[in-house]
A and B are shown apart, each in its own frame.
Chain A
Amino acid sequence: MANKTKSAAGIALKKVGKFAAKYTTYLTFVVLLVVLAILTRGGALRWISIKNLLIAESVRAFAALGVGIIIITKGIDLSIGFVVCLCASVAASFAQPADYSGALFVGKQFPLFLPIIAGILTGTVFGLFNGALVAYGKLPPFIATLGSMSIAKGLQLIYTKAAVVGSLRPEFKKIGQGSIGPIPNLAIYVLIAAILVWVLLKHTKTGTNFYAIGGNIQAARVSGIKVELGLMVAYGIAGLCYGIAGTLQASRLGLANSLTANGMELDAIAAVTVGGVSQSGGVGNVGGMMIGVFTMGLINYGMTYLAINSYYQQIVKGLIIILAVYFDMRKYSKR
């Protein structure tokens, strides 16, 4: 009888353990939220705090969705920050009022769709460029995107003459700063994008091909998957996400400058890694990516709320990135 009880308890414990292992990413988020709620005496759970978090992390969420797809194909993208910066600058340049003397196109007022299209298109072109380098140029993604990072930075400086692209039109700023009822527009865009990427990854052949390419590129090729095309599509979609991120960033801030989105690649890569997207390729899902983004956001938010010295914040973020990748590598190294 005692043995039976013991074994039942053991089975239950094992089940809990399995559940915890499967949903570590989500549990991390919940545990952090609880800790923060305690440390901020409930402040972190107020709607205003949640709203601030949604606004703060939305642009990064787009970058994370993009790089998440790339990492699933066993790639990496270091160009995110400067590509987003370039896209923000391009979008902003078409959103300046005609009568602003400091505008990039003085005396010209463009229709509202133009900055949106221009920003998104710029990102997509850069994504396809990265994809071509990796898929057809056979360059290691690390090197290819390191190069394109520098190109994007140079183009941004040339395009803007290193000046601030500011004083954007109110109707453009509303795209990123507005809200529908209490829900910020940015959060709604992210939700839509996350659903679309989820459908892509889970319910389309293109998506399953990404996993196959990341899991074992040779096997994918043998099984008839057009690997090069798959990689082009992955990087292209990622670029599209960066384009949206840049456009929304310009709208949200009401400006773009050469420092916009600098370092976003680290934030995005760290977020998706914390969210369970494996650097070894072939593993990851949209839910994890989003939880990763908001986990990092919670940490940022918590440190700001508690006014932790920024020097320590840098160390904390660095440690989290290193540890997330370390644990990820240990988990998947035996595959």
Chain B
Amino acid sequence: MKKALVALMVLVLAVGTVFAQGGAEATGKIKMAGIIRNQNEQFVVNYTENLKKVAAANNVDLVILDGEGQVDKQLDQLSTLLSQGYKYFVIIAQDGSATEQMAQKIAEVKGAAAYSNIQPSVEALKVSKQQYYASSPEAVAGQYQAVILDEYFTKYPEKAPGKVLNMLYLEGQLGHPAQINRENGLIEELKKLGYTVNFVAKDTANWRPDEAQAKVEAWIAAFSGKFNCVVAQNDDMALGAIAALKAGGYTKADASDGTLLTVPVIGVDGTPTGLASMKANEMYATVLQDAIGQSETAFYAVLEASKTGTAAGKTINGLTPPAKPIDEAPANDAAVIAQCFLVPFKPITKANLAEFL
């Protein structure tokens, strides 16, 4: 019987090669690998799909490996790829703390890497001038959310008497740079705009819609009528909140204020499902985390390094590193600022939604 098991394992591997995306073929083309933290978040999927397109358009051999949310798996994948001769990487790390180790391994073979979405550590960028940050400073997303809220409540001041915001706030994975900085950006900007922010409830839903839905359902039961806005740190969680609000009866027939919900719900990412929700007058607004811009910038930074030795200080995909350090890591360190390509966030409201659909 176990012979059948042996046969099956062998068969599975053999059949698997049919689905293989390509190994270490010596084609003379530049070989690049995408080490991506997972493939079950919309932003990451969009990033990956665009990376494949750009690689194909530039005649680069690209393999994509899915880290399935595990830091150890990503490190093992990197080791395997290095043993196959890969030197150039586009990375969405599961955890920024692991990027220094990744950078050291890549530097050993004089390779290059660009990190998006999850900030690499300053130490990772200091490993060599061939390590790049191609992402968006997270605090800006929070600031745009604050500006959008201000626009809404300036138009409808009766919904936030005394400029008091009673907020349900859905956070991403705790400790994640985006979780920390998006919240900081939101709160600081709202304070500047003269608002008092009360978190009626605030908790992590780990970026996931199902967790967000469950959280908001519980909050509705506990704090019914006591909140006037819902802010989520990504669109997936905003959509989970919307499902809970709809089930909880927080709907109205009139969408003249831009939403069929009785309270505005704001996300971040500008995912296709998020934009569809906006089109259906459910989600009020979002902030585009530019998956296309990030993946292209990361790709071209690594490509430039593979061709000319480094991309530091150069204009990549239309972006030039900032002249001075900003407040947010890793671009807050003058020693690595030339390796930081900051892809801007873009607010998406009803006014400009059509541009993104």
B77 touches A304 (CB 8 A): yes
Kindly name the residue among A21, A305, A307, A320 whose own CB sees the greatest number of chain B CB atoms within 10 A.
A307
List, in ascending order, chain B residues with CB within 8 A of A9's CB.
none
With an 8 A cutoff between CB atoms, is A239 at the interface? Answer: no
Known contacts A48-B83, A307-B65, A308-B19; is A327 also within 8 Å of B5 by CB? yes
**Contact residue among A21, A52, A324 (Cβ-Cβ distance under 8 Å from B80):** A52
Q: Is B84 an interface residue (CB 8 A)?
A: yes
In Å, the complex CA distance between A263 and B70 comes to: 10
Question: Could you say which of B7-15, B154-162, B227-235, B295-303 contacts chain A?
Answer: B7-15
Kindly state the separation between the CA atoms of A306 and B64 in the bound complex, as whole angstroms: 11
CB-nearest residue of chain B relative to A40? B23
B22 with A307: CB separation less than 8 A: yes
Q: Is B50 an interface position by the 8 A CB rule? A: no
The SS class assigned to the A binding surface is helix
- Give 1 or 0 for each of A7-40: 1 = CB within 8 Å of chain B CB: 0000000000000110011011001100110011
* CB contact list, A245-279 vs B, under 8 A: 249, 252-255, 257-260, 262-263, 274
Q: Which of A164, A319, A323 meets B95, CB within 8 Å? A: A164
Number of B residues whose C-beta is below 8 Å from A? 48
Interface residues in B1-50 by Cβ distance below 8 A to A read 1-6, 8-10, 12-14, 16-17, 19-24, 39
Tell whether, in the assembled complex, residue A162 and residue B21 are in contact, meaning their CB atoms are under 8 Å apart: no
Query: Does chain B have a CB within 8 A of A303?
Result: yes
On whether the beta carbons of B21 and A309 are closer than 8 Å, the reply is yes
Within 8 A of B (CB), among A63-115: none
In the complex, chain B residues whose CB is within 8 Å of the CB of A40: 23
| CA–CA, A28 and B98, complex, Å | 34
Quick check: B12 and A316 within 8 Å, CB to CB? yes
Contacts of A162 in B (CB 8 A): 173-175, 204
A327 engages B16 (CB within 8 Å): no
A49 at the interface (CB under 8 A from B): yes
CB distance from B93 to the nearest CB of A (A): 11
CA distance A28 to B3 in the complex (A): 8
A27 / chain B contacts, CB cutoff of 8 Å: 6
Quick check: is A138 within 8 A (CB to CB) of the other chain? Answer: no
Q: Does B94 contact A (CB under 8 A)?
A: yes
A306 and B173 CA atoms in complex are apart in Å by 32
Given A28-B9, A253-B75, A254-B101; A327-B1 close (CB under 8 Å)? yes
Q: Are B72 and A59 in contact (CB under 8 A)?
A: yes
8 Å CB contact of A305 from B8, B80, B176: B80
Contact yes or no, B72 A56, CB < 8 A: yes
Task: Return B210 CB to nearest CB of chain A, in Å.
Answer: 16
Cα distance A302–B68 when bound, in Å? Answer: 16
B76 with A56: CB separation less than 8 A? yes
State whether the Cβ of B97 lies closer than 8 Å to any Cβ in chain A.
Answer: yes
Identity of the chain B residue whose Cβ is nearest the Cβ of A311 in the assembled complex = B39
Q: Is the CB of B80 within 8 A of A304?
A: yes
Contact B1 A167 (CB under 8 A): no
A62 within 8 A of B: no
Q: Which residue of chain A lies nearest to B104 when distances are taken between CB atoms in the complex? A: A177
Q: Determine if B6 and A260 form an interchain contact, defined as CB atoms under 8 angstroms apart.
A: no
State whether B76 touches A299 (Cβ < 8 A).
Answer: no
Q: Judge whether B71 is part of the interface by a CB distance below 8 angstroms.
A: yes
Check B1–A330 contact: CB distance below 8 A: yes
Neighbour of A36 across the interface among B13, B21, B176, CB < 8 A: B13
B33 to chain A: closest CB distance in Å? 8
* A161 contacts the other chain (CB 8 A): yes
Instruction: Map CB proximity to A onto B71-99 as digits: 1 under 8 Å, 0 otherwise.
Output: 11001110110011000000000110110
* Contact of B150 with A by CB under 8 A: no
Q: Which residues B126-170 have CB closer than 8 A to chain A?
A: none
| A295 to B9 CA separation, bound complex (whole angstroms) | 10
Knowing A257-B175, A306-B16, A308-B21 touch, does A320 contact B9 (C-beta < 8 A)? yes
Q: Are A254 and B97 closer than 8 Å at their CB atoms?
A: yes
Out of B5, B76, B97, which one reaches A304, CB within 8 Å? Answer: B76
Sample (30) of A-B pairs whose CB atoms are under 8 Å apart:
A25-B2, A28-B5, A28-B6, A31-B6, A31-B9, A32-B9, A32-B13, A35-B13, A40-B23, A56-B79, A162-B173, A162-B175, A164-B95, A166-B95, A249-B72, A253-B71, A254-B97, A257-B95, A260-B70, A260-B72, A263-B70, A299-B13, A300-B76, A303-B13, A306-B16, A306-B20, A313-B66, A320-B9, A323-B4, A323-B5
Q: List residues of chain B with CB under 8 Å of any chain A CB.
A: 1-6, 8-10, 12-14, 16-17, 19-24, 39, 63-66, 68-72, 75-77, 79-80, 83-84, 94-95, 97-98, 100-101, 173-176, 204
B-binding residues in A (CB < 8 A): 20-21, 24-25, 27-28, 31-32, 35-36, 39-40, 43, 46, 48-49, 52, 55-56, 59, 160-164, 166-167, 177, 249, 252-255, 257-260, 262-263, 274, 295, 299-313, 316, 319-320, 323-324, 327, 330-331
